[in-house]
Structure formats: C-alpha cells, structure tokens
Amino acid sequence: MEELECPASFNELERATWAFAVKAHGEQRRKYQNEPYVKHLERVAQTVMAYSGTTGMVMAALLHDVLEDTPVTEAEMQAFLEEVCQGTIVKPAEVLQMVIDLTDQFTKQNAPGHNRKRRKQMEVERLAQISSRAQTIKLADIIDNTRDIIQHDFSFAKVYIPEIVALLEVLKRGEPFRLYMLACYEVQKAVLRLEEERRFHSNPEQNTASAEQDAE
C-alpha cells in the first residue's frame, strides 16, 4: 500500500478515524482516476467540516463507505468507536448510526427481485427518514460523486444523475441550507451537460455546420 498522509486539518479523533478507514479500504481505489479510495472520503469529510459539521459528523463522513464496501462489521466499527471516543464528548452510538444510515440497504443482495430503478426508489424513501446530520453527509457525498462521474463516465452519468435529482428532493433537512444548494448546483450543472450531449448527438449535421461557420 502506498504511503498516505492524513490531512492536517483533522483533529485527533478524526485522524484516528481516518487511519481506521484507510486500513479498512486497503488497496481499494476510485474507479476513474485510480486514486486511493480514502481521497474521496477525505473530500467528503472536508466538505462536512467546511460547512460546520461536528467532529462526530466528520468521523461518520470518513467511515460512510466502510460497512458497504469493506469486510468491517458493525460490531467491529462499534468497538473501534467506543475505544477511540472514550473520555470525549463524541457519542459512539450516534456516529455508528450515521454510518448505518449512509449505507445502502437495498442492494442486489439485500433486495433480490427488485431492479435498479425500484431499489433506488426504496433508498430515496429510506434516506428521507434519516437524521439531518446524516443527510448533510449525504449531500457532501453527492457533490464529490457528481463531479467525478460527470467528468469521467458520461455513460453512467445518464443513469446516475436522474437518480440523484430524485434523491435531492428528500435531503432538504441537510444543514446548512447553502450546502443543499451547492449539491443542487452541481447536479444541475451535470443535467445541463447531459442535455448538451443529447442535443449534440441528435443533431450531428447541424452541429457540424455550426462548427464550420464558427471556423470561417
């Protein structure tokens, strides 16, 4: 595993959580840029921090994909949180619940017989009920994922972006509201990119003529 450096902005609890996440995700890498997976977790956590998130929220942001994407169990995460939070004001149960809330429940394995569209609908209904703090972290996650996907995977973006448009409708309890607006802005930019691409491919002759005119 390559040597990674914990962001200096993290406090002691957050640094311990960062190390736990690094170990849990191991050699996993982000799909498009092949960067260590923890870089996504850092960006989500730093966005939460920039919008006045608590230490517990930053910790949950760093851990938000651990239960979903690694072999770490809830019991193992709970044991880690109880140990690291001992003597602090951070409540392990609250951090763990945020991570559970942010873990997809309706996967192919957990919801057999349902197609992707129905599973995502079920997730929207579930995420509408999670805490405002967990919704805040989800907004930060959406911002980073949307930027990544629209830049590097236009084909998947055609599936992903409409799903996120629907999801944003139920994440309005995330705080502060300007973070919600930033998520809407990033997603709307992606929607416009998709629409531009659709128009380009539906009128290739017109676009070629326009390009030739511009070159004259």
User: Per-residue confidence at 9, pLDDT binned at 50, 70, 90?
Assistant: very high
Give the pLDDT of residue 1: 59
Q: Determine if the peptide bond prior to 176 is cis (ω within 30°).
A: yes
User: Per-residue confidence at 207, pLDDT binned at 50, 70, 90?
Assistant: low
Write out pLDDT tens, residues 146-189.
Answer: 999 999 998 999 999 999 999 999 999 999 999 999 999 999 99
Which among 12, 35, 68, 197 is annotated as catalytic?
68
Helix (H/G/I), strand (E/B), else coil: 113: coil
* CA–CA distance, 67 with 65 (Å, rounded to integer): 6
User: Per-residue confidence at 2, pLDDT binned at 50, 70, 90?
Assistant: confident
Give the pLDDT of residue 142: 98
Which structure tokens are listed for 187?
């997603």
* CA–CA distance, 177 with 179 (Å, rounded to integer): 5
> Is 90 exceeded by the pLDDT of residue 216?
no
Mean pLDDT of the chain, nearest integer: 93
> Is 90 exceeded by the pLDDT of residue 199?
no
Which among 69, 153, 163, 175 is annotated as catalytic?
69
User: Per-residue confidence at 205, pLDDT binned at 50, 70, 90?
Assistant: low
> What is the mean predicted confidence (pLDDT) over 206-215?
49
Going by C-alpha positions, the residue among 145, 164, 168, 185 that lies closest to residue 64 is: 145
78 versus 112: the higher-pLDDT residue is 78
Contact 61, 182 (CB under 8 A): no
Write out pLDDT tens, residues 108-139.
Answer: 888 999 999 999 999 999 999 999 999 999 99
Could you tell me which residues are beta bridge partners of residue 29?
36
> Is 80 exceeded by the pLDDT of residue 94?
yes
Give the pLDDT of residue 206: 58
* CA–CA distance, 35 with 60 (Å, rounded to integer): 21
204 versus 6: the higher-pLDDT residue is 6
Phi, psi at residue 149, to the nearest 5°? Answer: -70, -45
Which structure tokens are listed for 141?
């996650």
Give the pLDDT of residue 214: 47
* CA–CA distance, 172 with 154 (Å, rounded to integer): 27
Q: How far is CA 8 from the centre of its chain?
A: 22
Helix axes 92-101, 55-63, angle to 10 degrees: 40
* CA–CA distance, 179 with 132 (Å, rounded to integer): 12
> Is 50 exceeded by the pLDDT of residue 35?
yes
Residue 69 appears among annotated catalytic residues? yes
